[in-house]
Structure 1
Amino acid sequence: MQRELAIIQNDPEVPAGVFGELLTEWRVPFRIVRPDLGELLPAAGDAAIVLGGAMGVHDEAAHPFLREIKGWLARLLADGTPLLGICLGGQLLAEVAGGMVSSNRCGEKGLVEVELTGAGAADPLFAGIPRCFPVFQWHNDSFTIPPGAAHLAGSRGCPGQAFRTGNAWGVQFHPEVDGAIVAAWSRKTPDAARLTGRFAAAEAGHRALARQLLANFLDAARPGGR
């Protein structure tokens, strides 16, 4: 991918993490856009990643920029722009595509085993990724798979872990986190030592997952990609 990738960061505590490091390493042009700080969303783009955030998709009164993101995602979906939504980003994408987002239905925190469906195992986003893999989760809200979308992955507690609609993918989990991000989120909980310890033991494999998934998305986002 030669053109600029837009990364939409909705929350100061939810940065691009490992994804930012990898894009810099690979010399992929990208820019961080902060709609939570009043920055304008790109009018058009070659591809975009929408990150997570502590707010929920229905919190538009407290966070008016969420309404702008939803309209922007709807336009990019219609245009066929390659998109990857992570956690809140995946939930926003799911709602725009016709799915439902609800609270406290199947929240997860920490490393969780996710399993690909048959469609997921065949999808280019998960090429080279094992059928079952542990990945970091941090959510109370969750999405249903939008009508007509491909259901790509689920976990035992939360069946909606990944979907694809057109050139857009939504995931509930956080492939982009690193140890520092996990530590910052976990210190707000009484379970911080266990959460950070488990992630530290699995971080090398988690980084490998992030590398493969991001490379797959960039390949799919290239002109002529799948």
Structure 2
Amino acid sequence: MKHAIAIRHVAFEDLGTLAPLLRARGYTVQYLEAGVDTLSRLDALAPDLLIVLGGPIGAYEEGLYPFLDDELHLLRTRLQADRPTLGICLGAQLMARALGARVYPGPAKEIGWKPLQLIAEGAASVLAPLDGTLTSMLHWHGDTFDLPEGAQCLASTDLCRHQAFQWGRHALAFQCHPEADPARLERWFIGHACELSQAGIDIPALRADSATHGPTLARQAAQALGAWLDQLPTP
């Protein structure tokens, strides 16, 4: 069996629809809880796959959350070795920072469902099933990042130029949330209640959009992420 480790920052932002996909591809999954588990003890190169998930803190806030230093060190080591790595939302921002790029507040909160705009390289990649003509995408972030040197941008939106990038042969990062499970998003609406209120988000409308778009995203993301997993090296 292949071994995947997922670093989780808040309990409800988990692997979502990616969890059954990993099981179907022969992975056992272990969660490590950021800020609770000692990430500095983890052998950065040992897992067959490392996934860094989302969360409500900034990738640049290590002064407030010192465990971010351990995550950044873990990602630098792993990325330099070209070991399979997936970042989602905060995870993508941490990957960008680990690769030397700047992470900073974006022009506005981007929360809700909106299609991705795949650029030519994205349309020719495993992300093709996530094209905006095929599915909408869940966005939930306030920060953004510069594209790391040597990375290839794959997708954008009007508010966020860098929605997805690949680096090396085996690293993929999403600013957005392809793993979003429509059956479990009510936990997000509760857990992020303060952020949603401050951003002026209409929660009933967001819930309705999630019911409308979520099942299609789940199918398309399974195709895209399944194709990405299939091209990773076998242990």
Q: Which residue of 2 aligns with 1:217?
A: 228
Deviation at 1:81, TM superposition (A): 0.3
Q: What are the residue-to-residue correspondences of 1:56-205 with 2, within 5 Å?
A: 56-123=58-125, 125-130=126-131, 132=133, 133-166=135-168, 167-187=170-190, 188=193, 189-190=196-197, 191-205=202-216
Cα deviation, residue 143, structure 1: 1.3
Letter in 2 for 1:18: T
Alignment CA distance shift 1:56-1:95 (3 Å): same
Which amino acid letter does the alignment assign opposite residue 189 of structure 2? S
Q: Per the alignment, in what secondary structure is the counterpart of residue 2 of structure 2?
A: coil
- 1:15 partnered with 2:26: no
Q: What are the ranges of 5 or more consecutive residues in structure 1 without an aligned counterpart?
A: none
Q: What is the one-letter code of the residue matched to 1:174? A: H
Q: What is the letter of the counterpart of residue 182 of structure 2? A: G
Query: What CA distance in whole angstroms lies between the structure 1 residues aligned with 2:12 and 2:205?
Result: 20
Residue 29 of structure 1 aligns to a residue whose secondary structure is: strand
Alpha-carbon distance, 1:127 to partner: 4.6
Q: 1:62 to 1:13 in 2, by over 3 A?
A: farther
Q: CA deviation at 1:46?
A: 1.5
- After superposing the two structures, state which structure 1 stretch, 130-139 or 144-153, moved more: 130-139
For residue 112 of structure 1, report the CA deviation from its aligned partner.
Answer: 1.2
RMSD: 2.0
Gapped regions of structure 2 (runs ≥ 5): none
The alpha carbon displacement at 1:104 in A equals 3.5
**Distance across 2 between alignment mates of 1:204 and 1:12:** 22
* CA shift in 2, pair 1:129/1:13, >3 Å: closer
- Over 3 Å counting, the alpha-carbon distance change for 1:122 and 1:42 in structure 2 is farther
Q: Is the 8 A contact 2:129 2:220 kept in 1?
A: no
Provide TM-score, normalisation by structure 1. 0.90
Give the aligned residue type for 2:14. Answer: P
Contact kept, 8 Å, 2:106 with 2:160, in 1: the verdict is no
**Percent of aligned pairs sharing the same letter:** 30
Hey, which bits of structure 1, 4+ residues long, moved more than 4 A? none
Q: Which letter does structure 1 place at the counterpart of 2:86?
A: L
Which secondary structure state, in structure 2, belongs to the residue aligned with residue 37 of structure 1? coil
Q: Secondary structure at the match of 1:55?
A: coil
Question: 1:26–1:220: structure 2 CA closer, same or farther, 3 Å change rule?
Answer: closer
CA contact (8 A) 2:138 2:178 kept: yes
Q: TM-score, normalised by structure 2?
A: 0.86
Distance 1:180 1:36, change over 3 A: farther
